[in-house]
Amino acid sequence: MASATYLDDAHSEVVDPPKNEEMLDVTELVGDHTQHSPKPNAMVSGNVRELLECPVCLNAMYPPIHQCSNGHTLCSGCKPRVHNRCPTCRHELGNIRCLALEKVAASLELPCKYQNFGCLGIYPYYCKLKHESQCQYRPYTCPYAGSECTVAGDIQYLVSHLKDDHKVDMHNGSTFNHRYVKSNPHEVENATWMLTVFSCFGQYFCLHFEAFQLGMAPVYIAFLRFMGDDAEAKNYSYSLEVGGSGRKMTWQGVPRSVRDSHRKVRDSYDGLIIQRNMALFFSGGDRKELKLRVTGRIWKEQ
C-alpha cells in the first residue's frame, strides 16, 4: 500500500453519478451491519450527499435530523448553536423532525472514507460512522509527544515524518542502551525529553522517556509503543532496566499501540517509573545532575 497522508475531506462526493442519470438505485438496509462487498448499483449521487450535509457544521447528519417550517434541515448537534433559528431562512425551528430524510439515509450504503488506504467495505449509512471509528485501515496519528503534531498517515509515512521533520533518532536492532542527562533535574516541565524509534522484526517501536508530575512528586517514566494496531502489539514484549550504585530497577511489559495516545499511556503509568530521589541516587555524584542509563530489549513472543 502506497504511503500517504490522510486528509479527511468530509465534503467530497463519494462517486460522481453518470451524466445520463440523476441518481442510481441504492441498496435497501436489511439489518446486516457487517462489512458489505462493493456493488455497482450501491453508488449514491452527490445530490443525495448534499441533502444529508448539515449547512452549519458541514458534516453528515444523523437522527434526529431537524427542519424548520420551510423544510430547511440541520443536525441535532448544531440546533442549540443557532439559538432555535433556521440558519437558512431565520425562521423559528421548533421541534420538527425530518423523518423523510432520515428514512432516505437509512436506505443508503456508502464506502468507507478510508478506501484510499485499502478499505473496500460498503456500509449502511447509519453504521458507517461506527465502522470508521474502528476501521483497521484508518490512519495513525504522529506519535511524537514533544509538540501538538497533527500529521496522520500510514506507518511508513510516519516513520519518514519522524525522521525528517522531528529529527528523531532511528536505530536498527532489538536492544538499546540510552543515557539521559539533565543539568537541573529539579525542574519538571511535563515535557518529553526523548523519543527514539527502533526497527526490528520487520516492525517499528517508539521508546519514550520523560519527566512529569505524579501528584506532587516529580518522576521519570520510560515506556515503549508499537507502531501498529493493538492486536499485533500483543505479539511482542519488552524489558527496561535502570540502576547505579549497586542497585537496579527493572520493568517488563507489552508495548502499547500508537492508537493509544502518548498521554493515555503515560497517565496510566504503564512503564518504568523512577522517583526523582531514586533517579538522583542512581546518577551518583553530588545528585545535582541527572545521569540515567536505561537499557532494554524487545522480543517476539512465540
The predicted-structure confidence for 115-159, as pLDDT tens digits, reads as follows: 888 899 999 988 988 999 899 899 999 999 766 788 999 999 999
Q: Which of 165, 192, 167 is nearest to 266 (CA)?
A: 192
Residue 142 has a pLDDT of 93
| E-strand stretches of 37-159 | 65-67, 73-75, 96-97, 109-111, 122-124, 140-141, 152-153
Phi/psi-derived region of residue 288, left when phi > 0, alpha when psi is between -120 and 50, beta in every other case: alpha
Cβ pair 154, 1 in contact under 8 A:
yes
* Phi (first) and psi of residue 86, to 5 degrees: -60, 125
Cα separation of the two ends of the chain: 28
Residue in the structure block whose three cell numbers are 503509568: 269
64: cis peptide before it, omega within 30°? Answer: yes
Residue 168 has a pLDDT of 92
**Three-class SS of residue 2?**
coil
Tell me the average pLDDT across 180-198.
69
Residue 300 has a pLDDT of 96
- In angstroms, the CA 32 to CA 123 distance is 9
Q: Would the pLDDT of 39 be above 50?
A: no
Bridge partner list, 213: 218
101 or 45: whose pLDDT is higher? 101
CA 211 to chain centre: 23
Residue 6 has a pLDDT of 38
Top mean pLDDT of 17-21, 51-55, 206-210, 233-237 is at 233-237
User: pLDDT tens, 227-254?
Assistant: 999 999 999 999 999 988 888 999 999 9
**Are 46-107 and 167-300 equal in CATH topology?**
no
CATH for the stretch 167-300: 2.60.210.10
CATH ID of 46-107, from 3.30.2290.10, 3.30.420.10, 3.30.40.10, 3.90.1170.50? 3.30.40.10
Cβ pair 77, 56 in contact under 8 A:
no
Domain spans in the chain, listed from the N-terminal domain onward? 46-107, 167-300
